[in-house]
Amino acid sequence: MSSTYPASAFSAKPESLPAHIESLEHAIALLNDKSVRDRILSGGSRRGYLAWMVKLLSEKCNLTNLDFLYCEPWESEGGYCAVILNNERVKSAIESITFLLARFESNPDELIELDKAGGWKRDDVLQMLREAEPSLHPQVNEGDSLDYLFAYLKSFLALCQKAQQNGEFILYVQFDG
């Protein structure tokens, strides 16, 4: 049985979030506090697929601002990563995810090369990319394939755009499931 690494994120007014997250319990309490947030994006990536792919793509494209998406909770003290994205980081995440999605559309072969185990064909990758829809629970194929990567990135992008529009920050938490 392989491990799943749950990740959750929500947007909230800056004054309703602490300056930093002190523990996994603190992060979970915030995730569960409906007075702080109204909707929560949640997913789970089997074997750390999402983190692995975002890290590879970030390195390939020289993007450093999506590092929170590839934190490695299994290697961190306490078994979790929690990041509060301020307005500047939200804007930066929007730009980087938009860039990656456009790059996938124009060069799907790059993804096929990175995820050799998937055995993907160019047309399949383009179809998955076009069909991926933002969702609060983007769970596709147990979170270990390109269609999950696309769905999660589009979902996180939508959350960031909502946060930017409303002047909100984002709390992102990933932990070792």
- What are the tens digits of pLDDT across the range 107-129? 998 888 887 777 788 998 899 89
Let me know: does 160 contact 134? Beta carbons within 8 Å. Answer: no
What is the CB neighbour count within 10 angstroms for residue 19?
A: 6
Q: Evaluate the CA torsion angle 23, 53, 130, 96 in order and state its sign.
A: positive
Confidence check: pLDDT of 81 > 80 = yes
- pTM score, whole prediction: 0.89
The CA distance from 126 to 174, in Å, is 28
The parent domain of residue 71 ranges over: 4-175
For residue 134, name the pLDDT band (cuts at 50, 70, 90). confident
Confidence check: pLDDT of 148 > 50 = yes
Confidence check: pLDDT of 57 > 70 = yes
Number of structural domains found in the chain: 1
The amino acid at 172: Y
For residue 106, give the CATH number of its domain.
Answer: 3.40.1760
The amino acid at 161: Q
